[in-house]
Structure 1
Amino acid sequence: MRKKGANGQESRARLLVVAANEFAKSGYHQTKISTIVSRAGLTQPSFYLYFESKEAIFRELMEKFRSELKGLIEGSRLESGIDEAHVSGRLLGVLTGLFTFLGKDPDLTQIGFFIGNDSVIVKAEMAAMIEQNLKGEQQDGYFDRDSDMHIVAECLVGVIERLTSQQLLTGKRTPEDLARHVVSLFMHGISIYPAK
């Protein structure tokens, strides 16, 4: 039976925060329940009031990341009727929001995007949702009709993944700066020469 009330909720929340940090720092297999409870200032029996196992707490953290990411992407599709001059700005807002989400809880991002067994599936789901959004936006006339939005979505997820690990989580770049570069690259390319 789990404790009820504010103290129980606080203890459970503290376990989740400490566990996320331990998993992100040490990986799943090296993380020990004894370390989690010690850092949380709780006892090992108290851990089992809230979670059945180390796998259960890890799974909950993974699902939290997955669910929040899914909600963010599902709500990011550009609505129809945007003036062409404002499309880049709207995309900048969407990507800034995504990088902000990935940077707000680095431990959870490490678990959900990089070290969890399901992280490959999470990124595949992310690419599929982005592809669906892009295809709708393509039909609305925002993007070239000949572009393969499956490839664009896969490239975008790869760019987001790499920039998150190498620039965002290391503190080298802000979400806004990364979003600006990605929008510029995908909307305008890097060439100064016109296409032939």
Structure 2
Amino acid sequence: MTKGERTRLQLLEVAAAEFAERGFQLTRISDIVARAGVTQPVFYQYFASKQAAYDELVGMFAQRLRTEVCQARLDDDLQGLPQDVRIRRGVCNWLAILQEDPNLTRIGFFQVDAAETLKDELVTMIAENVRIEQRAGLFRQDIPPEWLAHAFMGVIERFTRQTPNEQQREALADFITTMFLEGVRQR
């Protein structure tokens, strides 16, 4: 990685922290560069404006979640793994993405005006995955995919506000997977 790439990433990291702490309106470029230990001209080498840096952060965050939804789709062979293992891995990946950078998650999942639009888009993508998995015979047909997707998003959104360590995150992924696959009724 070049020095310029490191500087750019540092500016994005610092900008995420500033935006998360102060919000977009109250964050100034001077705050970002002071915290990053660079000058304003250096900031402008990488970003046309504060809005451009903010939009890039939100875009990166959203793309990571979209990619995870696409990768989480189960296929007929389940890549040689049991269904619950694949789902647990996907849930754990979601939690890891959302907890990896709390500042970015606060901005992209809770602060930005487009957060609800992003969540709605993810719900639509998850529901489509469920439909495909229902057609493949992996999930029950009587479960409305949209309801399941909304329920999953609600659970994920709530647990995102916590900060479990890796071991707790894996236990949480196990709980979420079991809850969705098995329910809570005694058999």
**TM-score between the two structures when normalised by the length of structure 1:** 0.87
Instruction: Report Cα offsets for 1:88-107 as digits up to 9, x if no partner.
Output: 22211111111112111221
Of 171, 180, 183 in structure 2, the residue corresponding to residue 186 of structure 1 is 180
Query: Are 2:121 and 1:91 aligned?
Result: no
Distance 1:172 1:90 in 2: 18
Offset, 1:45: 2.2
Alignment correspondent of 1:50: 46
Report the identity percentage: 37
Contact 1:103 1:175 in 2 (8 A): no
Of 38, 57, 68 in structure 2, the residue corresponding to residue 72 of structure 1 is 68
Alignment correspondent of 1:144: 140
Distance 1:25 1:173 in 2: 27
Specify the code of the residue in structure 2 equivalent to 1:133.
N
User: Based on CA coordinates, which of the two structures has the bigger radius of gyration?
Assistant: 1
Count matched residues. 186
Unaligned runs of 5+ in 2: none
Of 112, 125, 128 in structure 1, the residue corresponding to residue 121 of structure 2 is 125
Q: CA RMSD in A?
A: 2.1
Alignment correspondent of 1:154: 150
Specify the code of the residue in structure 2 equivalent to 1:120.
E
Offset, 1:8: 2.4
Distance 2:137 2:175 in 1: 23
**Correspondence 1:5-84 to 2 at 5 A:** 6-82=2-78
Offset, 1:184: 1.4
Offset, 1:170: 6.3
Offset, 1:172: 10
Offset, 1:122: 1.0
Q: SS of the counterpart of 1:75?
A: helix
Offset, 1:173: 7.4
Distance 1:172 1:132 in 2: 29
- Consecutive aligned runs of 4 or more in structure 1 exceeding 6 Å deviation: none
Offset, 1:171: 5.4
Offset, 1:22: 1.0
